[in-house]
Amino acid sequence: MRAGPESGSVELTRDLGFWDITLIGVGAMIGAGIFVLVGSAAGRAGPALVLAFVINGIVALLTSLVYAELGSALPSAGGSYIFIKQALPGVFPFMAGWMSWFAHAVAGSLYALGFGSFTVEILRVGGFEAAEWAFFSGLPAHAPEVALGIFIGLLFFYINFRGASETGLAGAIVTVAKILVILLFVAGGLWILLNNPGRLETFQPFAPNGLQGVFLAMGITYVAFEGFEVIVQAGEEAKDPKRNIPKAVITAMVIVIPIYLLVSVTLLGSIDPPAGEASTWQWLGTVKELGLARAAVQVMPYGNLVILIGGLLSTMSALNA
């Protein structure tokens, strides 16, 4: 922070460049949602999950353009509160600000607990049972997850307290690592598809549950596109915000939409369902939040562990955003 031009005012320092705010937005969008929601969504829409992602991507892109325009015109840390304050009087911006704050607080708690759960599961895969450690003996069953969640929450609180430059660097590192994990899964799945063209038959029938299934999948997965607004909220910390915020919002969407489409195509087209399951999409619907992790076992070596690490990174980047 630094002193503002007017006496007694305080302004945030503008330390975040174009790629800093872009990667913060990408990190917020590619959160835990894509790792835990695609299984349930595939069970609703079938192969039409791809169509659900296309439509959601278009809706999110149009919404993001509105945010980009407003963020360029009013580059401040207040985000949507500032926009509403300009248009509506009195209690409306007050309510919007507190609802936004509460929603972020709840989401942050969930991300922190998600970090704890992924960490404990990774330790379990490695043969370590956190609940059996002496430190946690006699405590409730989920004590290790809660303790790790508190730790990571405090860590990112400290990182953000240190300043925007540290926040941007931490976000960039975690986001790039997370994208690499997803691209490993996509590359393995595409390799299987290219070498087995007959697998395209798994996309038939394309929409087994009709439009209702597509709309249900859209409702489940739209949360995976939320996060571009974080770029706008960083407006007061961004360098040259009138130029960089619109560019960053659009760039983030251009990065995220193709990644989601590739994940859905490879997930549905490169996986063999276990014996007794009628189809890949029906099996994914039964394993739900574990769909991507279970599918990754068939796509690449140690796929389950790789996706768990990706989920871990996702919760971290979402906390940082």
The lowest-confidence range among 128-137, 212-221, 291-300, 302-311 is: 128-137
Overall pTM surpassing 0.85 (yes/no): no
Where does the pLDDT of residue 91 fall: very low under 50, low under 70, confident under 90, or very high at 90 and above? Answer: confident
Where does the pLDDT of residue 210 fall: very low under 50, low under 70, confident under 90, or very high at 90 and above? Answer: very high
Where does the pLDDT of residue 269 fall: very low under 50, low under 70, confident under 90, or very high at 90 and above? Answer: confident
Does 128 score more than 80 pLDDT? no
CA angle 283, 35, 44 (to 5 degrees): 40
CB proximity list for 119: less than 8 A, separation 6 or greater:
145, 148, 312
pLDDT of residue 206: 92
Q: Are 46 and 204 in contact (CB under 8 A)?
A: no
* In the chain, where the domains are located: 12-320
3-state secondary structure of 171: helix
CATH no. for 12-320: 1.20.1740.10
CB proximity list for 61: less than 8 A, separation 6 or greater:
253, 257
Does 7 score more than 50 pLDDT? no
Question: How far does CA 107 lie from the centroid of its chain?
Answer: 11
DSSP state of 272: P
Better-scored residue on pLDDT, 291 or 259 = 259
**Using one digit for the tens of pLDDT, what is the confidence trace for 96-112?**
888 878 877 777 787 78
Highest mean pLDDT among 102-116, 197-211, 300-314: 197-211
**Using one digit for the tens of pLDDT, what is the confidence trace for 155-172?**
888 877 776 555 567 667
**Using one digit for the tens of pLDDT, what is the confidence trace for 36-59?**
788 889 999 999 999 999 999 999
Cβ burial of 169 (10 Å; 0-12, 13-18, 19+) is middle
311 token code pair: 């989920």
171 token code pair: 């976000």
How far apart CA 68 and CA 250 sit, in angstroms, is: 8
- Concatenated DSSP letters for 19-82? HHHHHHHHHHHSSHHHHHSHHHHHHHHGGGHHHHHHHHHHHHHHHHHHHHHHHHHS-STTTHHH
How far apart CA 242 and CA 202 sit, in angstroms, is: 46
Where does the pLDDT of residue 93 fall: very low under 50, low under 70, confident under 90, or very high at 90 and above? Answer: confident
Better-scored residue on pLDDT, 104 or 182 = 182
How far apart CA 42 and CA 239 sit, in angstroms, is: 41
pLDDT of residue 137: 62
- Mean pLDDT, the chain, as a whole number? 81
How far apart CA 42 and CA 287 sit, in angstroms, is: 10
Where does the pLDDT of residue 276 fall: very low under 50, low under 70, confident under 90, or very high at 90 and above? Answer: confident
